[in-house]
């Protein structure tokens, strides 16, 4: 295909469909594979003889791999570029998924899970970097919200395909599906233009910046707006930790809880484009604040819910905020990233989000350990309300600075 030039300016002639295939296609395909594997990781560990706690640890290793991979992935992209990172990452992920399918060892499954988390982080960072180069500033939030939406579509489709495969074959086939999807996404990445090649050549001529030097140079941003990203990540992951526990507490069947979460996933997907449009036309604050505020309100309301319909309404409220905020972390990162050392900075930015994602369930568990679940829910709601104030203050400041600088 012809060389796509990095975009800038008003983007009056730009259309999102110009980057749909190379921008969103690999994300949907790769996320479908990951979405298929996530619900069955614990089951595969149990199949290999792990006890319940060990199986839970195997699941946690995916997040640990993402945490460990954020900074190295940023450094890797800075050296070899987004296109080759996607290509090599997809192939490596395919190998580790095949290993997970064929292995008879829980240890090998655990190592494969960590490596898969690493490649997934590299994949997400590379997709973000490509979109920053390929899309004009006027469409940045819509493009990155679309990337978040594509991820959600894949995560939604994956378990459906996985369930169908398990029904006709075995649990191992889900990992084979993930391997096929990883190879397919790698092949699709070959269609991408290498938009950052000139910047890498320039960086190579003067010497690559280290990850730590870039993060140190931008520590004020990371300690203020970066903490807001931690809060956003924590608020999103609270849903997965708190709501299933409450559904079980009020006696909802597991199938009902699954249906409620499916409704939430549909709402997430439905609102990603309106959220991107709002960010591009009204600023990032109008979307960033509702992401955390809806969780705060929902957590405060949750103790008042006792039937499926009322729990569904609370979950839908969170899904509305989460859907509008699709791509908010990537968009704020793109806005804040420096021209020199961008990939290294975005690796640190990704780490902030991953820390929040990890902290959310830990927060739920810690509070629930010392208080009844209803009290824990209220406490989390109050903490999220404080987090909303932090996010609102720093994102609003970033909006003002962006409008002044024209970024």
Contacts of 204 (CB under 8 A, 6+ apart): none
Confidence band for 2, pLDDT divided at 50, 70 and 90: very low
- pLDDT tens digits, one per residue of 308-332: 999 999 999 999 999 999 999 999 9
CATH number for 209-407 (one of 3.40.50.300, 3.40.50.2300, 1.20.1250.20, 1.10.760.10): it is 1.20.1250.20
Compute the mean pLDDT over every residue in the chain, rounded to the nearest whole number.
88
225 and 398 in contact (C-beta within 8 Å)?
A: yes
274 and 300 in contact (C-beta within 8 Å)?
A: no
Same fold for the pair 19-208 and 209-407: yes
Estimate the crossing angle of helix 342-370 against helix 373-405, to 10 degrees: 160
State the pTM of this model.
0.88
Beta-carbon count within 10 A of 156 CB: 18
Q: Which residue, among 326, 329, 315, has the nearest Cα to 240 in the 3D structure?
A: 315
Domain 19-208: which topology? Answer: Growth Hormone; Chain: A; (1.20.1250)
Could you tell me the CA-to-CA distances from 130 to 30, 83, 119, 334, 345 in Å, in that order?
16, 8, 16, 11, 15
Ranges of each domain in the chain: 19-208, 209-407
Does the pLDDT at position 8 exceed 50? no
Mean pLDDT of 236-259: 83
Length of the chain: 407
Does the pLDDT at position 395 exceed 80? yes
Mean pLDDT of 126-155: 91
- pLDDT tens digits, one per residue of 57-95: 888 899 899 999 999 999 999 989 999 999 999 999 999
Does the pLDDT at position 286 exceed 90? yes
User: Phi and psi dihedrals of 191, rounded to 5?
Assistant: -75, -15
Exposed e or buried b per residue across 380-393, where buried means at least 16 C-beta atoms within 10 angstroms of its C-beta: bbebbbebbebbbe
Alpha-helical segments (H) within 39-105: 41-47, 52-102
Q: How far apart are the first and last CA of the chain?
A: 29
How many angstroms separate the CA atoms of 235 and 231, rounded?
A: 6
Residue carrying the six token digits 């090649």: 197
How many angstroms separate the CA atoms of 352 and 230, rounded?
A: 5
Q: Of all residues in the chain, what percent carry a pLDDT higher than 70?
A: 93
Could you tell me the CA-to-CA distances from 320 to 5, 236, 244, 326 in Å, in that order?
35, 12, 18, 10
Does the pLDDT at position 17 exceed 80? no
- pLDDT tens digits, one per residue of 95-139: 999 999 998 899 999 999 999 999 999 999 999 999 998 888 889
Confidence band for 206, pLDDT divided at 50, 70 and 90: low
Does the pLDDT at position 4 exceed 60? no
Lowest-confidence segment of 203-212, 376-385, 397-406 by average pLDDT: 203-212
What is residue 333's predicted lDDT score, i.e. its pLDDT?
Answer: 95
Higher pLDDT, 220 or 364: 220
């Amino acid at each position: 295909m012809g060389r796509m030039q990095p975009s800038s300016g008003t983007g009056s002639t730009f259309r999102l469909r110009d980057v749909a295939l190379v921008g969103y296609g690999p994300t949907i395909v790769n996320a479908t594979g990951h979405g298929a594997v996530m619900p069955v990781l614990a089951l595969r560990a149990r199949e290999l003889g792990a006890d319940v706690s060990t199986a839970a640890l195997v699941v946690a290793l995916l997040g640990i791999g993402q945490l460990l991979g954020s900074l190295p992935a940023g450094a890797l992209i800075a050296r070899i570029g987004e296109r080759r990172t996607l290509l090599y990452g997809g192939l490596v992920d395919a190998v580790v998924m095949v290993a997970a399918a064929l292995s008879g060892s829980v240890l090998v499954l655990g190592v494969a899970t960590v490596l898969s988390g690493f490649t997934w982080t590299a994949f997400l960072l590379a997709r973000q970097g490509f979109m920053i180069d390929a899309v004009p500033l006027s469409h940045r939030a819509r493009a990155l919200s679309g990337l978040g939406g594509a991820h959600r579509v894949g995560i939604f489709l994956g378990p459906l395909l996985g369930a169908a495969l398990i029904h006709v074959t075995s649990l191992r086939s889900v990992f084979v599906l993930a391997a096929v999807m990883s190879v397919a996404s790698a092949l699709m990445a070959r269609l991408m233009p290498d938009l950052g090649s000139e910047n890498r050549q320039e960086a190579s001529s003067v010497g690559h910046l280290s990850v730590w030097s870039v993060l140190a140079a931008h520590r004020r941003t990371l300690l203020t707006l970066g903490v807001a990203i931690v809060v956003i990540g924590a608020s999103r992951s609270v849903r997965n930790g708190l709501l299933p526990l409450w559904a079980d507490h009020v006696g909802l069947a597991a199938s009902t809880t699954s249906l409620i979460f499916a409704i939430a996933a549909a709402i997430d997907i439905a609102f990603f484009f309106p959220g991107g449009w709002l960010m591009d036309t009204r600023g990032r604050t109008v979307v960033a604040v509702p992401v955390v505020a809806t969780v705060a309100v929902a957590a405060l309301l949750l103790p008042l819910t006792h039937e499926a319909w009322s729990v569904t309404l609370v979950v839908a409220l969170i899904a509305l905020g989460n859907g509008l905020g699709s791509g908010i972390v990537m968009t704020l990162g793109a806005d804040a990233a420096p021209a020199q050392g961008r990939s290294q900075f975005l690796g640190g930015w990704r780490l902030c989000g991953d820390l929040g994602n990890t902290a959310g369930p830990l927060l739920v568990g810690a509070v629930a350990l010392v208080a009844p679940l209803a009290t824990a829910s209220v406490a989390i709601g109050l903490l999220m309300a404080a987090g909303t104030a932090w996010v609102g203050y720093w994102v609003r400041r970033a909006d003002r600075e962006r409008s002044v600088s024209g970024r």
